[in-house]
Amino acid sequence: MNHIQGSLIYEGKAKRVFACENPDRVLIEFKNDATAFNAKKRSLIEGKGRLNCKISAALFQLLELNGIPTHFLELHSETLMVADKISVIPLEVVIRNIATGSLCRETPINQGTILNPPLLDLYYKDDELGDPILTEGRLQLLDIISDIQREEIEQITRSVNKILKEYFDSLDLLLVDFKLEFGTNSSGKLVVADEISPDNCRFWDKKISDSKDRILDKDRFRQDLGGVIDAYQEILKRIENDSFHPG
Ligand code: UDP
């Protein structure tokens, strides 16, 4: 298949989206730019784009194998993936298995509390507003999605969590929490979009008890712990050493 890179459609903090010959598809380029705290902290991390692209491609394929619809079609190169062109739903869907991050900053819930059932929250995707958490009432007022779409988004997110949690458990990693984004493709079908990588998931090494040493995700960048690229590389290595790995 030929996917000649066309014009730049959109540039975000960590990705660029290009048009393809086929109008129903796009090419997504994963950049080395790292941002945190609503882009107040910025850096370039050599190799991050390649790692996130490969990790996301593998995880989207794992989800597809488990019947979850995603925008992923194929890898084009080490930093480019071909995906369905979608209409992005402006929601960030966060699901948590273990309490940390904003949940512990904003509530008295202790770090490390096991959340069973996992906690699912919807945030409004808008950098200028700082991606605010949505209440039931605010979600209704904004009228972004229908009740049926909301049910489908929550059900898919819980299924994705179950699949990924079990998968990472088998790689000796705890899936602490993650954020999903959704969109609708040209047939109007709801699909998981964006990326699934250490930029939007938290992973803790099951075999390490030190609360900082065990971190294998973007928290290493957020908290200036160093070893960001080594952590991302470790996630890819465990995926590639696993028998599921498609490549
Ligand atoms: N997350 C994300 N993008 C955001 C906010 C959060 O990908 O804009 C991810 C984050 O990497 C973590 C989960 O969502 O895996 C929960 O993040 P949290 O709300 O704890 O925010 P943080 O502590 O990063 O401010």
> Which amino acid residue places its CA nearest to atom 25 of ligand 1?
102
Contact predicate 100/89, CB 8 Å: no
Over residues 56-64, the mean pLDDT reads 98
Tell me, using a 6 A CB cutoff, whether residue 218 lines ligand 1.
yes
pLDDT confidence bin for 245, thresholds 50/70/90: confident
> Greatest CA span in the chain, whole angstroms?
53
84 lines ligand 1 (CB under 6 A): no
Spatial CA neighbour of 72 closest among 165, 216, 196, 235: 196
What is the distance in A from the centroid of ligand 1 to the CA of 208? 22
In whole angstroms, give the CA distance from residue 165 to residue 78: 25
Mean pLDDT of 176-193: 97
How far is 213 from 135, CA to CA, in rounded Å?
35
Pocket test for ligand 1, best of 59, 111, 177 (most atoms within 8 A of CB): 177
Q: 112 alpha carbon to ligand 1 midpoint, in Å?
A: 15
pLDDT tens column, 205-226: 999 999 999 999 999 999 999 9
Spatial CB neighbours of 160, under 8 Å, sequence gap ≥ 6: 63, 68, 95, 180, 192
Helices (H), 182-227: 219-222
How high is the pLDDT of residue 3? 74
Whether 2 shows a pLDDT value over 90: the answer reads: no
Q: How far is the CA of 45 from the centre of ligand 1 (A)?
A: 19
pLDDT of residue 199: 98
User: What 3-state DSSP class applies to 87?
Assistant: strand
Pairing of the two strands 25-30 and 33-36: unpaired
Q: What is the mean pLDDT of residues 98-119?
A: 98
Distance (angstroms) between ligand 1 centre and the Cα of 200 equals 6
Ligand 1 mean position, distance from CA 69 (Å): 23
Distance 7 CA to ligand 1 centre (A): 30
Please state, as a whole number, how many other Cβ atoms lie within 10 Å of the Cβ of residue 241: 9
Compute CA distances 11 → 14, 27, 47, whole Å.
8, 12, 19
Report all structural domains of the chain as residue ranges with CATH numbers, in order of start: 8-84 (3.30.200.20), 87-226 (3.30.470.20)
Is it the case that residue 184 has pLDDT exceeding 70? yes
102 lines ligand 1 (CB under 6 A): yes
Closest ligand 1 atom to the C-alpha of 104? 20
State residue 246's pLDDT score: 72
pLDDT of 243: 80
Which residues have C-beta within 8 Å of that of residue 101, sequence separation ≥ 6? 177, 202, 219
pLDDT, tens digit, 9 for 90 and up, residues 111-135: 999 999 999 999 999 999 999 999 9
Summarize the confidence of residues 183-211 as an average pLDDT: 98
Minimum CA distance residue for ligand 1 atom 24:
101
244, pLDDT greater than 80: no
Give the confidence band of 247 by pLDDT, cuts at 50, 70, 90.
Answer: low
